[in-house]
Amino acid sequence: MSACPNTATASVIATVPVAAGEPVTAADSADPCCAAPLPVLGRDVTVPLVTGGEVSYAALDYAASAPALQRVWDDVAAYAPYYGSVHRGAGYLSQLSTDLFENSRVTVAEFLDCRPDDQVVFTRSTTDSLNLLAAVVPADCQVFVFETEHHASLLPWKDAQVSYLNAPRTPAQAVEILERALAAREPQGAALVCVTGASNVTGELWPVKELAAAAHAHGARIVLDAAQLAPHHPVSVRESDVDWVAFSGHKLYAPFGSGVLAGRADWLQEAEPYLAGGGASRKVARRADGGVDVEWHTTAARHEAGSPNVIGVYSIASACKALTEAGFDSLVAREQHLIATVRAGLAEVPEVRVLSLFGDDSPRVGVISFVVEGWNSSHFAAALSAEYGIGVRDGLFCAHPLVRTLLGSDPQDVGECGAPEAEPGERSLNAIRVSFGAGTPDEHVERFVGAVRELVRDGAQWKYRTEDGRCVPDRG
């Protein structure tokens, strides 16, 4: 039998069959049926149209959850018969699964270019990772977070002193705003800056390295929310000099609900476990007074209580390997081609306004949000789905302060369907988001651009209504 894919060499896992074969590159992995560098599950799925017939589904909502890579699915399927309990099990499959789990930790550390003393903690998601960090910050910690963050970064800091920073309009202004805020803080006590690497609304890249330098110059630490950055660009903890990085498997083409918090170990080791239970505890003993004494692990296990999601963890490691082997240079170059196609197409429709903080020339990943004059965004997104088989996202994208700032006072016509976020009588504020990545074929973005043009020119072919807060085709 061959060695298990995507793990470090270990004799105990040598019986797991190879699923992915030789290392894959973007050049030789292109699937003729989907014309994308890395084939994903669902590329052959067809969906019905309200106007009749079926069409291949264009998944353009990668920023919410990217489809799983075929490579990841195959790797997990190859491991599945060998599934066993992780840690402490004496059986062969338990030992194999434990090695797989711990070698996945090594793979993720390499993918993130972690420092030798950094810890990689497996969580459920980016949200879980940032809540974990919020639970271990020192009691007197001051947290600085821009209002432009995803709610996963904006909301977890309830037990800290939080300063919410105004939305910058240039990368340089972001650094200036942070420096002023840090300079004005009380110098005593710990401080933490939380910043995104790429916006989940505009796709724009943030000046992470410069923000990290500013944070450290003022005695603060910094955590990078890489949920939207890691699937599109290489992330180096060492080069960017961030203290922690968090990301989710489900945005990195890996299913099963796992996430990562990687970085400095000291705060993690000094705090009480995020969850108390088996796995986090090294030794538990009864006391004479009837209570218990607990000695907690000082490794990543301290914050991984309970039976871990070994399949989810392995899927992240498999995705990390696949992206690395495909080569980010070629993946980024192709994604820039898709971004240019979408932006050029939208620019030809005067009624469309693309949302941006930093301006049209700002570097970005494959995430673009926009509004259409004369349309409620929920209505427009519903028509894209029902009449063209295109899946996008509408709403405020779990970044309400940012989207409201970007929309400002722009009128949003209610049309046949209102936005689910709008209360009765409230002016509807919502936008449309299209997002894509390594599994997106050219045809999907070309169909999207054509559909936008047709809907604005000709209107929807079908009637729509609001049902359970969503805009849906009226089939009555």
Q: Which amino acid would we find at residue 362?
A: S
Q: Measure the CA–CA gap between 466 and 418, rounded to whole angstroms.
A: 7
Among 114, 320, 398, 471, the active-site one is 398
Q: Measure the CA–CA gap between 143 and 211, rounded to whole angstroms.
A: 14
The residues, any chain, with a CB within 8 Å of residue 139's CB and separated by 6 or more, are: 159
Q: Measure the CA–CA gap between 100 and 470, rounded to whole angstroms.
A: 42
Residues 450/58, Cβ–Cβ less than 8 Å: no
Partner residues linked to 262 by β-bridges: 120, 245
Angle, in degrees to the nearest 10, between helices 328-347 and 442-458: 10
Alpha helices in 112-234 (DSSP H): 126-136, 151-154, 171-183, 208-217
Residue the block writes with tokens 């986090």: 280
Count CB-CB contacts under 10 A for residue 308. Answer: 19
Residues 364/357, Cβ–Cβ less than 8 Å: no
Q: Is 194 a catalytic residue?
A: no
Q: Measure the CA–CA gap between 180 and 161, rounded to whole angstroms.
A: 17
Residues 369/431, Cβ–Cβ less than 8 Å: yes
Within a 13 Å sphere around the CA of 47, how many CA atoms are in the beta-carbon half?
Answer: 15
User: Which residues form the catalytic set?
Assistant: 398
